[in-house]
A = this chain, B = another copy of it.
């Protein structure tokens, strides 16, 4: 038998330790090993116990076990900028040679010049132009491939890793735990439905038909005699704020029993979830961990931000209505999957 190389040996040790960690988590019976013991973890465990106890007052039939999750800032990192915005800006650079006019045309010239101040001040109309130029004009299949290629190469600036590696281990455990208890887990994102579908199954185990998001219009057309769906530069649906309950009803048609978010874009999703009968789990991730991830609010005196704002009014409403706020700093032992073992 050949001696193990140093690298293979290290991999073996990591695998053994990984298995040991998984085995001990299974043995301890803790489905949420990356969560610190505390109110947030207890809220999840107690809720699931209640809705799965047959004959109990809070029992929920399996067909109605719907759980909805925001994506940006709830399942993966959204700072310093939404991954999809980074994607759009990168696409402007890739497409620039075909558009010489962009050198002197707002908002493209700011992107091409790398003018961070100008980009930080982009209005909704600027982003609409960028989305139209980068997200439309191709088939749905081509767009998915473009997103997949980008995700394979993209590096988030602080952690220098793909956005798909910067997902929250504690939330992966919640997804698994809910699914093990008969829940169907949905993403309900303000981001692009088609963008998120490009990685939802592989990264979160959430199939494409369980991704609700914003979308542009599509058109049935033919290429070489075969039908294709062409992406059009025209907004079809905005799945944010009041759009989240609308999207949930349109795509799922059932009121969720579980909703996780992290910003004012998720307020109405939690409100809609909480307005149903019986026990409902409503939770918000607070980014208060500048050391391990980011810190922004401006709730509780955290720095203000334009990306994933968690205002004080949302914090006050959460306290009043019993929405559970998750402190990234205090409730999560680990942040990313590669720290988990």
Contact = CB atoms under 8 A, between A and B. Distances in A.
Nearest to A229: B249
Nearest to A64: B207
A90 interface: no
A253 B252 CA distance: 14
Interface in A216-259: 218-220, 226-227, 229, 242, 245-246, 249-254
Copies of the polypeptide in the assembly? 2
Contact of A63 (B207, B211, B220, B252): B207
A253 B220 contact: no
A251 B176 CA distance: 23
A113 to B, nearest CB: 37
A208 B250 contact: no
Contacts of A268: 220, 227
Contact of A227 (B197, B226, B229, B272): B272
Nearest to A249: B229
A140 interface: yes
A215 interface: yes
Contacts of A218: 246, 249-250
Contacts of A140: 249
A215 B245 contact: no
A193 to B, nearest CB: 8
Interface in A47-70: 63
A330 B220 CA distance: 35
A271 interface: yes
28 contacts: A63-B207, A140-B249, A193-B250, A193-B253, A197-B253, A208-B252, A208-B253, A208-B254, A209-B251, A209-B252, A209-B253, A209-B254, A211-B253, A215-B250, A218-B246, A218-B249, A219-B246, A220-B242, A220-B245, A220-B246, A220-B268, A227-B268, A227-B271, A227-B272, A227-B275, A229-B245, A229-B249, A251-B251
Interface of A: 63, 140, 193, 197, 207-209, 211, 215, 218-220, 226-227, 229, 242, 245-246, 249-254, 268, 271-272, 275
